[in-house]
Amino acid sequence: MIKNLVELVREAQTQTKMKLVVAAAQDEDVLIAVSEAKKMQIIDGILIGDEEKIKEIASKNKINLDQFKVVNKPDLMEAALESVRMVSQGEADFVMKGILDTSILLKAVLDKEVGLRTDNLLSHVMVFEVESYHKLLLLSDGGMNIEPSLEDKKGIIKNAIAVAKALGKTEIKVSCLAAKEKVSDKMKSTVDGAELKHIAEEGYFGEDVIVEGPIAFDLAVSKEAAIIKGFKSPVAGETDIVLVPTIEVGNGIGKTLTYMANAKSAGVIMGAKTPVVLVSRADSSETKLFSIALGSVVAANQSKLNK
């Protein structure tokens, strides 16, 4: 089992090398991260975008473009469509967002002709390495689904489980967050949490998945808090996946971990045929590198399952 993000990079280095295509690659931090990933033997790369700008950035940062295939597509929508087409037709294994709006890339991902759509819900999964927690913590969905329904939450959990399994986790423990542990009709998150726990006990997510809900964040990540409050659950203090009730909660927890707890992180969109590496413009090149490694490991695992 992968215990931290350095181990994630090592896993990406030892597996079959995946081919990454970057949509609108004319972004300095993205190019630095992709170049580093190539240097570390994590990926082979294809750069789609404004070739002139890509060359300018590469020259400034002493990046050798000879190691990449570069396709000139200055128009952002065309760059996005060409990137997902390459993945759809097997010319690349997964795609990464460059300097374009997320909505443009997702429109291409969902394109009926060249896209990567499936029947699954698309959701964002963040993987955090927090110094105060003893293992990697997955958080979903703080990036895409604004106020997910119960049905949406089932899909979000399934997508997060796929990432957890790619990380080598066997028994996967999920916490469905709410402000309290008692079910109240006035608080939708408690009702949904209880129902998700119920269907998990009936085997909906698989025998290797334990779902607890509703549960507050302190009990999800702290055994001490659970002991003090008398809350007994195999998930308490051992959570692998945190399911948040709304995008604001996920966004808030994620940014708090990053900016107040100095957490390291990686993120991908799940639910398409292959993972989509989605990073914020404010993310460091290190975060982008970790996200590339995560996308590579997930893509490789999906490839094995599809054989």
Question: pLDDT by residue (tens digit) across 2-34?
Answer: 999 999 999 999 998 999 999 999 999 999 999
In this structure, are 130 and 113 located in the same domain?
no
State whether 150 and 190 are in the same domain: yes
Q: Is residue 162 part of a domain?
A: yes
Is residue 63 included in any domain, yes or no?
yes
* Residue 37 falls inside a structural domain: yes
Angstrom distance (rounded) from CA 133 to CA 269: 24
Q: Is residue 160 part of a domain?
A: yes
Predicted model pTM? 0.94
pLDDT band for position 305 (50/70/90)?
Answer: confident
Between the alpha carbon of residue 23 and those of residues 45, 85, 108, 263, the distances in Å are: 11, 11, 10, 27
Q: Assess if residue 268 is contained within a domain.
A: no
Same domain, 249 and 130: yes
What does the pLDDT read at residue 165?
Answer: 97
On whether both 19 and 84 belong to a single domain, the answer is yes
Looking at the fold, whether 64 and 178 belong to one and the same domain comes out as no
**CB of 278 closer than 8 Å to CB of 267:** yes
- The CATH number that applies at residue 284 is 3.40.50.10950
| Shared-domain flag, residues 138 and 188 | yes
Give 257-274 pLDDT, tens digit per residue.
999 999 999 999 999 999
Could you read off the pLDDT of 76-115 as tens digits, one per residue?
999 999 999 999 999 999 999 999 998 999 999 999 888 8
Q: Which three-class secondary structure state does DSSP give residue 165?
A: helix
Instruction: State yes or no: pLDDT of 282 exceeds 80.
Output: no
- pLDDT tens by residue, 230-244: 999 999 999 999 999
Q: How confident is the model at residue 220 (pLDDT cuts 50, 70, 90)?
A: very high
The stretch 286-301 carries a mean pLDDT of 94
Q: Is residue 266 part of a domain?
A: no
Is the same domain home to 151 and 249?
A: yes
Q: What is the CATH number of the domain that holds 195?
A: 3.40.718.10
Residue 267, in any domain of the structure: no
- Cβ burial, residue 247 (10 Å; 0-12/13-18/19+): middle
- Say yes or no: 57 and 132 in one domain: no
Does residue 255 share a domain with residue 129? yes
Query: Distance between CA atoms of 88 and 76, rounded to whole angstroms?
Result: 18
37 & 91 share domain? yes
Q: Are residues 218 and 280 both part of a single domain?
A: no
* Percent residues over pLDDT 90 in the chain: 90
Pair of tokens at residue 125: 């999964």
Q: Which residues pair with 126 in a beta bridge?
A: 139, 267
CB atoms within 10 A of CB 203: 9
Q: Is 190 contained in some domain? A: yes
Domain that holds residue 189: 123-260
Question: Within this chain, do residues 220 and 277 fall inside the same structural domain, yes or no?
Answer: no
pLDDT tens for each residue of 136-168: 999 999 989 999 999 999 999 999 999 999 999
Q: How many domains does the chain have?
A: 2
Three-state DSSP class for residue 47: strand
